[in-house]
Structure 1
Amino acid sequence: MARTMWKGAISFGLLHAPVSLYPATHQDEIDFDWLRRETLQPVGYKRVVKETGEEVDKDDIIKGVKYEGQYVILSDEEIKAANPKSTHTIDIVGFTDAADVNFLFYETPYYLAPGKGGDKVYALLREAMLKAKKIAVALVVLHNKQHLAALIATPRALVLNTLRWATEVRDTSELDLPEEGLKGVDIKPKELQMATQLINSMTEDWDPAQYRDTFRDDIMAMVKKKFDEGLAEQITDVQVEAPEETSNVVDLTELLRQSLQGTAGRAPRKTAAPKKTPPPAARKTATRTRAAKTAH
């Protein structure tokens, strides 16, 4: 079970539900360590004074806010005491339809689990939100920063998804975009009909498990190949295919026709079996082996 990140309560009118916050996601990516070229020694991040480059111990670092040219120092206790309610409460300020919240605003999801004595209010809020088909808009302070958030009910859990503030989402007026509608770029009705048909032919039930990070799989396959070959410096038989060049003038109708033919009779997507990758122990052994070779 993931560790508790935050403890507080959901404030819903006069009701309070004690809850604990847990991460709802985790990073499944390649862990590229920084290494020194000559010795393969790991290279880490340092806390240094920007002006001098002098390394600073973690215990010697404090928090300060620049105000009128000077720093005002604040301790963690002072930060929490500034507004105790906001740092311990998920304050619901209203409800709305999920479809009304632009996807650009969604940031990071977290699971909420009921705290001691909070099961009944937790379940009541979850079931009421499911019945009303609404999400809650809330305010919460995490990591010394206030967030706008969406509280979303699922059949089992309440999910807190932090949202970006309106000032953090850029307006599209900064971009050079085609005009709304069909006339701006001379889209023909037949092209729109075929594009819609192509979308419909490719529509399927959402199943995130059927998609894989194929880039990660290919990188780890390359890592395994180099490991099996005795940590060779290069893989000589790798061939990189250059993307095909396309002209600016295209026949959309013909491309759409070919695309529709390609989707005809398409079999349902299946989950690809993951490629085997070397276990962490093997990677550590590989690093030590290469370091030993370098040393000799």
Structure 2
Amino acid sequence: MRSIWNGSISFGLVSIPIKMYSGSEDGRVDLDMLDRHDNARIRYKRINEETGKEVDWKDIVKGFKTENGYVVLEDEDFDNANMKKSKTIDIEEFVNEDEVAEVLFKNPYFLEPQKEGKKSYNLLKNALKKTGKLGVATFVMRQKEHLSLIGVYKNALVLHVIRFAAEIRNPGDLKLPSTKVSKKEVSMAESLIEQYTTKFKPEKYKDVYNNQLMKIIKSKSSGKKIKPEKIDSTPTPAKDLMAQLKASLEKKKAKAS
């Protein structure tokens, strides 16, 4: 793995030099965009609006538009906006794991200690494991400030980039139903949930979609056509809820026996 950010974690007066690695990878099938007429690849060019000529990456800069034109920003400008946060993941407080809403989570990153930080790395890791806490931290990466949580995953420190509260839309804008549900129906649904409750094992879940997409690609390359699977997505009528819940419970019990 190649590190994507180098710096340090700090909590209190303890500073831990670390390297950051992406903790996830894109599982999508790698597809190219083609011209339908001849299957030639589509390529994008960076064109100067004034001259119509292509611009090399080395000549491209970022700018902020003002009334008087653009203010061009160089790499050092982004670093200087907050030099400390560009180099330090500063833990500002600790919170209980169960207090964090899943909707805030975005991307995980693994943290590895640099040579001088091995003992302090283990100190933070062991303390987080023992207390069941997460460190709340902010830092700057790729010219953007990130809010994050630092915890432990499989004996490694992991940093989760999370969303700022302002980035979460208000679900109050949704047209949510006010339809009443009986106590008996809720009780039956609770029983069904209990029947299906197991210990979470992420390794048992596979990316089925990608495998199926590859089958279609192989079939099309050999001139065959796969018949689409028929899916019954008929909504359950309100009057049939109890019957369907009961049938689901019986089906699960029969499968377990």
Q: How does 1:1-296 map to 2 (within 5 A)?
A: 2-49=1-48, 54-68=53-67, 70-178=69-177, 184-227=178-221, 229=222, 232=223, 235=225, 238-241=227-230, 243-246=232-235, 248-266=237-255
Cα deviation digits, residues 92-139 of structure 1 (max 9, x gap): 110001111111111111000001200011110111111111000000
Deviates further, 22-31 or 75-84: 75-84
Q: Using the alignment, how far apart are the partners of 2:89 and 2:131 within structure 1?
A: 20
Name the SS of the counterpart of 2:176 in structure 1: coil
Residues 108, 244 of structure 1: CA spacing in aligned structure 2 closer, same or farther, 3 A cutoff? Answer: closer
Name the SS of the counterpart of 1:173 in structure 2: helix
Q: Give the RMSD, CA atoms, in angstroms.
A: 2.2
Cα deviation digits, residues 217-268 of structure 1 (max 9, x gap): 21111222223x3xx3x62x62452545447543211010111111114359
The aligned residue for residue 289 of structure 1 is none
Name the SS of the counterpart of 2:255 in structure 1: coil
Residues 199, 51 of structure 1: CA spacing in aligned structure 2 closer, same or farther, 3 A cutoff? Answer: farther
Displacement of 1:21 in angstroms is 0.4
Cα deviation digits, residues 11-47 of structure 1 (max 9, x gap): 1111100000000011111112112233322223332
Matched residues, number: 257
Q: Using the alignment, how far apart are the partners of 1:54 and 1:256 within structure 2?
A: 65
Residues 226, 120 of structure 1: CA spacing in aligned structure 2 closer, same or farther, 3 A cutoff? Answer: same
Q: Is the 8 A contact 1:64 1:71 kept in 2?
A: yes
Q: Partner amino acid for 2:227?
A: V
Q: Is the 8 A contact 1:34 1:43 kept in 2?
A: yes
Q: Using the alignment, how far apart are the partners of 1:212 and 1:142 within structure 2?
A: 31
Deviates further, 92-101 or 78-87: 78-87
For structure 2, the 5+ residue unaligned runs are: none
Q: Using the alignment, how far apart are the partners of 2:121 and 2:68 within structure 1?
A: 46
Q: Is the 8 A contact 1:105 1:165 kept in 2?
A: yes
Deviates further, 146-155 or 20-29: 146-155
Q: Using the alignment, how far apart are the partners of 2:50 and 2:161 within structure 1?
A: 35
Name the SS of the counterpart of 2:206 in structure 1: coil
Displacement of 1:74 in angstroms is 1.3
Q: Using the alignment, how far apart are the partners of 1:108 and 1:186 within structure 2?
A: 37
Among the aligned pairs, what percent are the same residue? Answer: 36
Q: Using the alignment, how far apart are the partners of 2:246 and 2:51 within structure 1?
A: 64
Cα deviation digits, residues 253-292 of structure 1 (max 9, x gap): 1010111111114359xxxxxxxxxxxxxxxxxxxxxxxx
Displacement of 1:79 in angstroms is 1.8
Q: Using the alignment, how far apart are the partners of 2:168 and 2:50 within structure 1?
A: 33
Name the SS of the counterpart of 1:253 in structure 2: helix
Q: Partner amino acid for 1:29?
A: R
Q: Is the 8 A contact 1:130 1:154 kept in 2?
A: no
For structure 1, the 5+ residue unaligned runs are: 179-183, 269-296
TM-score normalised to structure 2 length: 0.91
Displacement of 1:177 in angstroms is 1.8
Deviates further, 112-121 or 32-41: 32-41
The aligned residue for residue 290 of structure 1 is none
The aligned residue for residue 275 of structure 1 is none
Q: Partner amino acid for 1:168?
A: E
Q: Using the alignment, how far apart are the partners of 1:129 and 1:239 within structure 2?
A: 49
Q: Using the alignment, how far apart are the partners of 1:252 and 1:91 within structure 2?
A: 51
TM-score normalised to structure 1 length: 0.80
Q: Using the alignment, how far apart are the partners of 1:11 and 1:106 within structure 2?
A: 22
Displacement of 1:54 in angstroms is 4.8
Displacement of 1:146 in angstroms is 0.5
Q: Partner amino acid for 2:125?
A: R
Q: Partner amino acid for 1:57?
A: D
Q: Using the alignment, how far apart are the partners of 2:17 and 2:233 within structure 1?
A: 57
